Amino acid sequence: MAETSEPVFQTDKDGRQPVVVVQDLHVKYKVFSSGKAVGAAGMGGLLKRGMRGLREVHALKGITFVAYENESIGIIGSNGSGKSTLLRAITGLTPPAEGAVFASSRPNLLGVGAALIPALSGNTNITLGSLALGFTREEIEELRPKIIEFAELEDYIDFPMKTYSSGMSARLKFAIAASKQHDILIVDEALAVGDARFRKRSEARIREIRENAGTVFLVSHSMKSIRDTCNRTIWIEKGVQMMDGPTDEVVKAYEDSRK
Ligand X SMILES: Nc1ncnc2c1ncn2[C@@H]1O[C@H](COP(=O)(O)OP(=O)(O)OP(=O)(O)O)[C@@H](O)[C@H]1O
Binding residues vs ligand X (CB under 6 A): 29, 31, 57, 59, 77, 79-85
Q: Which of 173, 183, 172 is nearest to 108 (CA)?
A: 183
Whichever of 1 and 29 has its CB closer to ligand X, that residue is 29
Comparing CB distances to ligand X, the nearer of 1 and 93 is: 93
34 within 8 A of 55, measured Cβ to Cβ: no
Query: Are the CB atoms for 187 and 218 separated by under 8 Å?
Result: yes
**Based on CB atoms, which residue is closest to ligand X, 60 or 209?**
60
**Least distance to ligand X, CB of residue 20, Å:** 17
Contacts 24+ apart (CB under 8 A), 195-203: 195/167, 198/152, 198/167, 198/171, 198/174, 199/225, 201/150, 202/174, 202/178, 203/228, 203/229
H or E element in which residue 147 lies? helix 137-151
The single-letter DSSP state of residue 17 is P
> Least distance from C-beta 84 to ligand X, angstroms?
3
Nearer to ligand X, 43 or 66 (CB): 43
Find the shortest distance in angstroms from Cβ 171 to ligand X.
22
Q: Is the dihedral of CA 180, 185, 188, 194 positive or negative?
A: positive
Q: Which is nearer to ligand X, 89 or 172 (CB)?
A: 89
**Smallest gap from residue 185 Cβ to ligand X (A):** 18
CB of 76 to ligand X, least distance (A): 9
Q: Report the Cα 128 to chain-centroid distance in Å.
A: 22
Min CB(78)–ligand X separation in Å? 7
**Given the complex with ligand X, which of 83 and 199 has the nearer CB atom?**
83
Query: Could you tell me which residues come within 8 angstroms of residue 109 by beta carbon, excluding any fewer than 6 positions away?
Result: 87, 91, 186, 188
